[in-house]
Chains A and B, each alone.
Chain A
Amino acid sequence: QQPVQSPQAVILREGEDAVINCSSSKALYSVHWYRQKHGEAPVFLMILLKGGEQKGHEKISASFNEKKQQSSLYLTASQLSYSGTYFCGTEHTDKLIFGTGTRLQVFP
């Protein structure tokens, strides 16, 4: 039931790109993406809704494939501040089910 994220961890140099994937075994109605730094609260990045609507971040984009029950988060020209753990949350009835997490580290 918990969405599976891949990869589990990514190491980047500043300026490089990354893709984080989120795959669910259940039908998706919306996908929420969050970033969490160690010891801090998860911070909202983006929501993707069934039907293609997106709400979110300027420098981060995402895709939502309802048929494949997958979403991907695209981080381009990564910055040091992008470091953290990324979680997708998939909507099921009235709750969000968060994924397994992807740890991203950006080095200068």
Chain B
Amino acid sequence: GAGVSQSPRYKVAKRGQDVALRCDPISGHVSLFWYQQALGQGPEFLTYFQNEAQLDKSGLPSDRFFAERPEGSVSTLKIQRTQQEDSAVYLCASSLGGRVGGETQYFGPGTRLLVL
């Protein structure tokens, strides 16, 4: 497939469990972004990678959230000790170049996380 893919598409976790969300960006795309989207809201920035370097993690809500992109392609967003407020759709996006301005971000379908 040519687009951004994410897995799993749906995840139900019990409060306190750890979860790992995967993003496969478009091949060759330098930049990768993670967003959190609450119901009825716009996507909210979490973190940004340029190749394997995490250049901005200012949007991560707490130290329970951790993201990595070790080889500059696939990325994983890990949430430790999940809480009910973590329930949301987690979107991944990638763009071809290494800057935000003027670059189209292509979004994946998202992972819908429900914490019970």
Contacts and interface: CB of A to CB of B under 8 A. Distances in A.
A55 B43 contact: no
A72 B99 CA distance: 24
Interface stretch (B11-19, B60-68, B100-108): B100-108
B101 A95 contact: no
Shortest Cβ-Cβ A-B pairs, 6 listed: A98-B42, A41-B107, A95-B45, A30-B101, A87-B42, A42-B107
Interface string B35-74: 1000011111100100000011011000000000000000
A95 B42 contact: no
11 contacts: A30-B102, A34-B107, A41-B107, A47-B103, A93-B56, A94-B100, A95-B45, A95-B48, A95-B100, A98-B35, A99-B42
Interface in A18-66: 29-30, 32, 34, 40-44, 47, 49, 53, 55
Given A30-B101, A30-B102, A32-B105, A42 B43 contact: yes
Interface string B94-114: 000001111111111110000
Contacts, number: 65
A91 interface: yes
Main SS at interface, chain B: loop
B101 A41 contact: no
A89 B93 CA distance: 13
A44 B55 contact: no
B104 A101 contact: no
Interface residues of A, number: 26
Contact of A96 (B40, B58, B105): B105
Contacts of B59: 95
Given A42-B91, A44-B104, A47-B104, A97 B109 contact: no
